[in-house]
Amino acid sequence: MALERARLERALETGESADGNVEFKTRLDPEVHLSDGRFESLAAQLRHRVLSGDGEALYVIGVTDAGGLAGIEPDAFSESMDVLSLIAQEADAHIASVETRGIGGGLVGIATIVEGRTWPVDDEHLVIGTAGHVDHGKSTLVGTLVTGEADDGQGATRAYLDRKPHEIERGLSADISYGVYGFEGDDPVRLDNPDRKTDRASVVKRSDRVVSFVDTVGHDPWLRTTIRGIVGGKLDYGLLVVAADDGVTATTREHLGILLATDLPTIVAVTKADLVSEPRIEEVLEEVERTLRGVGRTPLPLARHGIETAIDELSDSVVPIVVTSAVEGTGLDELDALFHQLPKRAGEDGEFRMYIDRVYTVTGVGPVASGTIRSGAIEAGDRLSLGPTADGRFIEVEARSIEMHYHRVDQAEAGQIVGIALKGVASEELKRGMVLMPVDTESTPVRSFEAEVMVLNHPTKITNGYEPVVHLETVSEAARFKPTDSHLLPGDSGRTRITFKFRPYLIEEGQRFVFREGKSKGVGTVIAVE
């Protein structure tokens, strides 16, 4: 976060005092400040500062002992944060936030230290992926669930998920957004201020169960982004929305097909019930039920069967349906009950593995790789292997720190959405589709693999040389198809060789994927890797 000049000036004016909570440091060097004796002394000093500040201390980094602005190089600042984090842990405290400001060619920053170690994350963390037609109310429904506030009928509760200015202006999401709420015992824990990062961290801290939403995109030009959220997110359940005033559309059917093709247990929420009559709601419910039966699924309306039956029966073949209104609050208690009681789907066994979804740089921290942990667990400080690069190499890196919903955690495990700050790699080397796994793990990147595919839609037939985009985990890459039986028609299932056009990836047998090119779409499973 950017450090406001006024806040910096207040900290400098307060200055260091024997009984104060402010500490000045030019920089913290691991060889100097983590050495025997010095480390314990600094931990005792930090503990004193925290107690003096009633549980909070401010460490101003990049200034002299007298409070003069020195500024240090970004790498030195990042290293200082690593050292400060270790000192804080020794003192039973943790870094809650870091704010930085450029001074000349360097950085000055304030690290807020809070009493208590970073708290463990919830091992029942539920990840829900939303899908559905544009303007059917996905983001509004998520916004209402995580805040507990009624919508104004114009999508007010959606606004905090739409981060880009053009999204807010047009009322359309063009990228994947994330929302979070939780439960403390039986009571929902919601966001007071969705724009305040500390609120999200507080939800994680207070909740016995955390519920994260991967809110995807309904507009057809961005279908690839929706596929990315569903295929790459390692979701527990899908939430498909159908607006009561519009009903089932071609996009609804397409998104339902993607959810079911990835074997994701799904709930259907009929939204905007406040805009239509009861007969219209019944008409849309019948339309949803026909659509589900048409793809071999059993609809289970909650109004008829109840919550407990839905929890017991929900599977990849049984789909609960709930009628909702973000304006009137209809159906929100039912969704709360589902998300509170639905079991966490079993994560994959084995060692740690995470496909990178997003890459960004945090000033003073460095490059961060974000994604959903596919299997295993990770702790801060773990040595990892990152790759493959364009030429098939893997790079050894260190997990400098781990965050979940803006809250730093000591460890994380399969199914959780995290950001991992990495040491030993430049930001420009990180790419979507790369994998993080334990160092020295045996792995062979490939450009080509065999797959069993089903063609959902195509105007003619798929032949040798067909080039769609393949979405597998977080990989989105153009690839060439070579069907074993010369061609595949719409509705056909068959075997094909698939070759990525530009770079290798880490691909494994059994992985599911979606392919798309224009109006042509299909799903597949990796059956052999060479």
Structure tokens at 424: 């030993």
Q: Which residues contact 226 (CB under 8 A, 6 or more apart)?
A: 131, 216, 217, 218, 255, 258
Same domain, 304 and 208: yes
**CB-side exposure of 230: number of CA atoms within 13 Å?**
33
| Inside any domain, residue 211 | yes
Among 438, 465, 487, residue at a domain's last position = 438
What does DSSP say about strands 462-463 and 358-362: parallel, antiparallel, or unpaired? unpaired
Q: How far apart are CA 362 and CA 78, in angstroms?
A: 10
Structure tokens at 300: 């289970």
| Inside any domain, residue 346 | no
| Inside any domain, residue 421 | yes
Same domain, 370 and 460: no
Please, what sign has the CA dihedral across residues 232, 238, 243, 246?
Answer: positive
Same domain, 486 and 364: no
Same domain, 200 and 131: yes
Among 83, 115, 147, residue at a domain's last position = 115
Same domain, 410 and 365: yes
The domain spanning residue 281 has which CATH number?
3.40.50.300
pLDDT tens digits in sequence order for the chain, 530 residues long: 567 888 899 999 999 998 899 999 999 988 888 877 788 899 899 999 999 998 899 999 999 988 889 899 887 887 888 788 878 877 878 887 788 888 887 899 998 888 775 555 455 678 888 888 888 988 889 889 988 888 888 766 655 453 333 222 322 222 334 578 889 999 999 887 766 656 666 777 788 888 888 755 433 433 444 454 455 446 789 899 999 999 999 888 878 877 877 778 999 999 999 999 999 999 999 999 999 998 889 999 999 999 999 999 998 899 999 999 999 999 999 999 999 999 887 566 689 999 998 887 776 677 888 888 888 999 988 999 999 999 999 999 999 888 876 667 788 888 777 889 899 999 889 999 999 999 988 889 999 999 999 887 788 889 999 999 998 988 989 999 999 988 998 878 899 999 999 999 999 998 888 888 877 878 888 999 97
Q: How far apart are CA 196 and CA 175, in angstroms?
A: 20
| Inside any domain, residue 82 | yes
Nearest to 3 by CA among 90, 161, 111: 111
Q: How far apart are CA 256 and CA 451, in angstroms?
A: 22
The domain spanning residue 510 has which CATH number?
2.40.30.10
In terms of C-beta distances under 8 Å and separation of at least 24 residues, what long-range contacts does 306-310 make, across chains too?
Answer: 307/334, 307/337, 307/338, 307/341, 310/338
| Inside any domain, residue 328 | yes
Q: How far apart are CA 286 and CA 415, in angstroms?
A: 34
The number of domains in the chain is: 4
Place of tokens 């639905």: 342
Q: How far apart are CA 293 and CA 253, in angstroms?
A: 12
Q: How far apart are CA 271 and CA 473, in angstroms?
A: 29
Q: Residue 52 belongs to what domain range?
A: 5-115
b/e per residue, 311-349, with b = 16+ CB within 10 A? eeebeeebbbbbbbbbbeebbbebbbbbbbebebeebee
Q: How far apart are CA 197 and CA 445, in angstroms?
A: 37
Same domain, 260 and 335: yes
* Contact (CB, 8 A) for 52 and 59: no
Calculate the alpha carbon distances from 59 to 35, 50, 51 in Å: 20, 10, 14
Q: How far apart are CA 525 and CA 514, in angstroms?
A: 9
Nearest to 212 by CA among 192, 228, 234, 242: 234
Same domain, 227 and 273: yes
* DSSP-based three-state secondary structure for 280: helix
Q: What local confidence, expressed as pLDDT, does residue 301 receive?
A: 96
| Inside any domain, residue 347 | no
Q: How far apart are CA 92 and CA 212, in angstroms?
A: 28
Same domain, 182 and 281: yes
* DSSP-based three-state secondary structure for 328: coil
Cα angle value 305/311/312 (rounded, 5°): 85
| Inside any domain, residue 389 | yes
Q: How far apart are CA 131 and CA 75, in angstroms?
A: 41
| Inside any domain, residue 80 | yes
Among 90, 115, 140, residue at a domain's last position = 115
Structure tokens at 328: 């009137």
Q: What local confidence, expressed as pLDDT, does residue 216 receive?
A: 55
Same domain, 221 and 264: yes
Peptide bond into 388 cis (omega under 30): yes
Same domain, 63 and 162: no
Same domain, 255 and 199: yes
Same domain, 335 and 454: no
